[in-house]
Amino acid sequence: MLDATRLQVFREVIERGSFSAAAEALSFTQPAVSRQIAALEREVGAQLVERLPRGIRPTEAGRVLAAHAEAILDRMAAAQSEVDAVAYLQAGRLRIGAFPTANATAVPQAIATFAREHPAVELTLLESVSADLIPRLRAGELDVALATDPLEHDLEGLAVIDVVEDPMLVALSHDHPLARRPRLRLRDLREESWIEGGPAGCRRPLFRACAAAGFEPHIRFGSEQWLGKQGLVAAGVGVTLIPGLAVATVREEIVLRSLGPDAPTRQVVAVLPERHRAPAAEPFVDLVRERAEAQCSSCYERDRLAALGVPELAPA
């Protein structure tokens, strides 16, 4: 392998025609330049310059190497420039994976802010459930994955960054008897019909919290998507839990209420490769955390307004 520093010295010697001129241009001593050229000649196994009383001239092997040295050093400089651009977020890409409710508000807002601040970084987004996103991250198809309930997944060998503890709010129809109760707790809903569905991981927060409150939820209706769940809630046939990150999607006929300090929550994390991370990944995660925390904090103010009977401000 050719040493880049020695190639630079060699290029200067050929361009300037002497060791002393090259030494002055490089801020080296003349003996240091001579040693670099001698070492390069040993590397390539051929004499590269003829030492003359006044300066040098390249040998045939030296002329061949000089032509390649220019191209090699130019490519190396271009490579370093591109690497620097990616490292300083002036180029490159970021492939994001996120679960559906993260895409309701926090992730789109973070993408918009990141794109304004770093317009040269190419952003792409894949929406799927956490159980699908993490294998894609391992396969190198994603640079960062937003996921929920990290203890439910195999994250060995991956880096996990906490994003937010997402509060689960209960969704009630606008005319539900409990919609305006000043203080609402999960045990107050023990006789309700619940609407649930989707992966088992979506049910776990509800079952854990209900068990702690001393009852098992009566799940009467199943719906895989938020749209269907909200339709059933709005019709007054049951109640359901909605994550704080999803409140921006809630219909006007629905009131969201906090269930207090013992309410179900879900942990939201960002999962990244342990090594060789995209330089844009952690700055993007910081933006998602900021937006997610603001979104979840506002849930409690909406709950307070709902309890005061301000319906136009109760939905997201």
Architecture of domain 4-87: Orthogonal Bundle (1.10)
The rounded distance, in Å, linking the Cα atoms of 91 and 71 is: 23
β-strand partners of 145 = 97, 271
**Domain boundaries of the chain, sorted by first residue:** 4-87, 93-313
Residues of the chain with pLDDT under 70: 85, 198-202, 298-316
Alpha helical stretches, state H, 118-225? 130-138, 200-213
Which pLDDT score, from 0 to 100, does residue 71 have?
87
Which pLDDT score, from 0 to 100, does residue 303 have?
55
Please return the burial class of 242, using the count of CB atoms within 10 Å of its CB with bins 0-12, 13-18 and 19+. Answer: buried
Sort strands 49-52 and 55-58 into parallel, antiparallel or unpaired. antiparallel
The rounded distance, in Å, linking the Cα atoms of 25 and 56 is: 16
How distant, in Å, are the alpha carbons of 44, 60, 215, 315 from that of 1? 9, 20, 71, 66
Query: 3-state DSSP call for residue 146?
Result: strand
Under 8 Å CB-to-CB from 118, ≥6 apart: which residues?
89, 90, 280, 283
> What is the value of pTM for the model shown?
0.71
Which pLDDT score, from 0 to 100, does residue 299 have?
65
Which pLDDT score, from 0 to 100, does residue 103 have?
93
Which pLDDT score, from 0 to 100, does residue 215 have?
93
Which pLDDT score, from 0 to 100, does residue 200 have?
52
Which pLDDT score, from 0 to 100, does residue 197 have?
77
Architecture of domain 93-313: 3-Layer(aba) Sandwich (3.40)
